[in-house]
Structure 1
Amino acid sequence: MAVSVPASFSAFTARRRALKWLSAAPASLAVGGTLSALSALSARDALAADSASTTTLVLGDQAGGTRALAEAAKVLDGTPYAFRWANFQGAAPLFEAQRAGAVDLAPAGDLPVLAAAVGDPTLKIVATRVGSGAQLGILVAPDSKLRSVADLKGRTVFVSSARGSISQFQLYGALAEAGLSKDDVSVRFILPVDAFAAFASGSIDVWATFDPYYGIAVQRGARILRDGSGINSGLGFITASGAALADARKRAAIADVLTRLQRAGDWALAHPDEYAQIYATLTRSPLDAAKRITQRASLKQHFVNDADIAALQKVADSANRDAILPRRIDVRAISDTHIANV
């Protein structure tokens, strides 16, 4: 059965649901030691110097990908703050939790970040992750009579995970490329885990989705009508909640986590086979699928900069023209380019 995420609901309900997700999510705590006091401490130094710090970050994740990267590279060992992971199957519930104040950091693709900003203008983009548009696509069963995107006219396409997803953007781009409009298909939104089961059972004919669900489905025989290459930017972003950034110690911890994740991405790019093996083990993915998923994943990371803002603004304007987003988003206004200076 398809499960859709409501566009809006009360803050009380959102927080209850977010806290419920967090209570069921696997947790990892790490507390570091004490650094020598300095005469002039930066916010990050002050955080590290306080061995009794009660600062705790909640690190949001999708399908365990960021956690697998961090644990494979061992970059979060010895942090001078506590942290725990909160895993979600897609961007929609992840940002629902961030909006409710239950998650401090949230990694997602370009369009989901923009969609989240519509409902939460206080979130800020703090880092950019560079990957490939081939990490998502439109899938059909191996014996499907549908041979091209043009054949989708009049069909129902199931899109993961909710309105404003990278898969919706990719679908509309592929339709335009094939000479069709978004009105030539019926779009239904479905969360990835539900979609995966429905697609495997034959209940869904056409599914637009993203890694790791996309890669595993292909490994199991799904046929690709069109991937996101040349349509999607391949850029991913990490956002921080406004409340977390307003807290001086959390802001310092966020800057430190981002630096560590940057090192993790560099390690994974330098050790692709080792990372794929660890990713497969930690996410319980087939090794063949894990190799493909990690090869095209958004691993190269840096603090958000002006070029990233310009690239994402193009996505925002296009999504607004296509009515994927209800209004134009000013990307610079939702970006924090000073986090690296903490």
Structure 2
Amino acid sequence: MIRRIAAAALSLTALIALTACGADSSADASSRQVTLTIGDQAKTLQTIVAASDALKGARYKVKWAEFEGAAPLYQAVQAGAADTGYSADLPALQALSGGVRVKNVAALKNDGRHVGLVVRKDSGIDSVRDLKGQKVVVSSAKGSIAEYLLANVLKQNGLDYRDVQVQYLLPTDAQAAFASGKVKVWATFGVYQAVGLEQGGRLLVDGADGRVSGFGFVNASDQALGDPKKKAALADFLQRLGTALRWTSTHQDAYARAIQTRNGADPSVAKTLASAAYSEVLPITDEVNTTVQGVADLMHGIGVLDPNVDVAKSADTSLLK
């Protein structure tokens, strides 16, 4: 099921989805020429927008760029193959630290339950302290939200990040290794976390109660922000995405059915994902920047985020007030 969700290859051309939607026959010719290429992971935004019909009446087109994880998504943004990125806070920070020319344009918020440390039921690991000396597979790449959860809970339990052996694997590869028993501890997120729990896993800890910030970001390339028509279309898209996320909060059963249909998830996984989705789109405020700066500072301190990022200076607050 996971491999039907993920892209088959990581080349940029193979990963660009050619589905356009949201054109309005009443729009003028110049508006119809505007196409936003929206970066997505595991069809998450596509499913929400399609199920809620959020693009109805939009005077621009949307083309979806589909990726397995944040790292290849931001590679596409850097290469000009996508106008926007979408990720939890730490992957966005990692992209900025690595020189990807983007600005955070909107914050997303959830309760953190979408990210967790999953252990095999026969692992003998019953607490975070039991992780000392263990190998932990982190999905998808260095600087993922799952890695922040790992680092933060180790710190909260008096352990050093060097007390575990970290291995990075893309989610589909990690899922296969976990299901076969080759991996005992998996730091993961979203659909992959849900499937891991169905395939012999047990949740050791998740990101709720402040163990992760709960913030994610939609960001846009400097090139897209420099195009007035694209910038205007993106501002409208953010409003529509906010409407779509509010719809998921009040229509969880319908959203779960959409996940089943579009992502190939089984009913229990779809229900889990529907209940853990981002619930709102927010302007980037001082509170958001301060909270996420704490994430950056922790990960910089253990050498995962280098150089560090000034979160406030990495935002464009003009699109969403």
Q: TM-score, structure 1 length as denominator?
A: 0.86
Cα distance, 1:52–1:318 mapped onto 2, change above 3 Å: closer
Residue 277 in structure 1 maps to residue 257 in structure 2: yes
Stretch deviating more after TM superposition (137-146 or 299-308): 299-308
What is the aligned partner in structure 1 of residue 207 from structure 2?
A: 228
**Runs of at least 4 residues off by over 4 Å:** none
Stretch deviating more after TM superposition (227-236 or 238-247): 227-236
Query: Does the CA-based 8 Å contact 2:39-2:83 persist in structure 1?
Result: yes
Q: Name the CA distance, whole Å, in 2 between partners of 1:52 and 1:291.
A: 38
Q: Name the CA distance, whole Å, in 2 between partners of 1:214 and 1:26.
A: 28
1:240 aligned partner, one-letter code: A
What is the aligned partner in structure 2 of residue 165 from structure 1?
A: 144
Instruction: Please point out which of 4, 8, 20 is paired with 1:28.
Output: 20
1:31 aligned partner, one-letter code: A
Structure 1 residue 338 displacement after superposition: 0.7
2:21 aligned partner, one-letter code: L
Instruction: Please point out which of 227, 238, 252 is paired with 2:218.
Output: 238
Residue 17 in structure 1 maps to residue 46 in structure 2: no
Query: Does the CA-based 8 Å contact 2:257-2:270 persist in structure 1?
Result: yes
Structure 1 residue 315 displacement after superposition: 1.5
Q: Name the CA distance, whole Å, in 2 between partners of 1:317 and 1:155.
A: 25
- 1:81-230 → structure 2 map (5 Å cutoff): 81-120=60-99, 122-229=101-208, 230=210
Q: Name the CA distance, whole Å, in 1 between partners of 2:100 and 2:71.
A: 16
Q: Name the CA distance, whole Å, in 2 between partners of 1:99 and 1:115.
A: 13
Q: Name the CA distance, whole Å, in 1 between partners of 2:69 and 2:240.
A: 23
Q: Which runs of 5+ in 1 are unaligned?
A: 1-15, 35-47
Query: Does the CA-based 8 Å contact 1:57-1:253 persist in structure 2?
Result: yes
Query: Does the CA-based 8 Å contact 1:139-1:223 persist in structure 2?
Result: yes
Q: Name the CA distance, whole Å, in 1 between partners of 2:305 and 2:228.
A: 32
Instruction: Please point out which of 54, 64, 67 is paired with 2:33.
Output: 54
Stretch deviating more after TM superposition (121-130 or 188-197): 121-130
Query: Does the CA-based 8 Å contact 1:81-1:253 persist in structure 2?
Result: yes
What is the aligned partner in structure 2 of residue 329 from structure 1?
A: 309
Structure 1 residue 221 displacement after superposition: 3.6
Query: Does the CA-based 8 Å contact 2:31-2:59 persist in structure 1?
Result: no
Instruction: Please point out which of 73, 76, 81 is paired with 2:52.
Output: 73
Query: Does the CA-based 8 Å contact 2:37-2:63 persist in structure 1?
Result: yes
Q: Name the CA distance, whole Å, in 2 between partners of 1:269 and 1:177.
A: 31
Q: Name the CA distance, whole Å, in 2 between partners of 1:270 and 1:132.
A: 16
SS of aligned partner of 1:339: coil
SS of aligned partner of 2:320: helix
Residue 286 in structure 1 maps to residue 227 in structure 2: no
Structure 1 residue 305 displacement after superposition: 2.5
Query: Does the CA-based 8 Å contact 2:89-2:215 persist in structure 1?
Result: yes
Structure 1 residue 181 displacement after superposition: 0.7
Q: TM-score, structure 2 length as denominator?
A: 0.92
Q: Name the CA distance, whole Å, in 2 between partners of 1:187 and 1:302.
A: 33
Query: Does the CA-based 8 Å contact 1:106-1:240 persist in structure 2?
Result: yes
Larger Rg: 1
Structure 1 residue 307 displacement after superposition: 2.3
SS of aligned partner of 1:243: helix
Q: Name the CA distance, whole Å, in 1 between partners of 2:152 and 2:134.
A: 16
Query: Does the CA-based 8 Å contact 2:179-2:199 persist in structure 1?
Result: no
After superposition, the C-alpha distances for 1:38-76 in whole angstroms (9 at most, x for unaligned) are xxxxxxxxxx54456321111111111111100110011
Query: Does the CA-based 8 Å contact 1:136-1:228 persist in structure 2?
Result: yes
Q: What is the percent sequence identity of the aligned residues? A: 39
Query: Does the CA-based 8 Å contact 2:140-2:169 persist in structure 1?
Result: yes
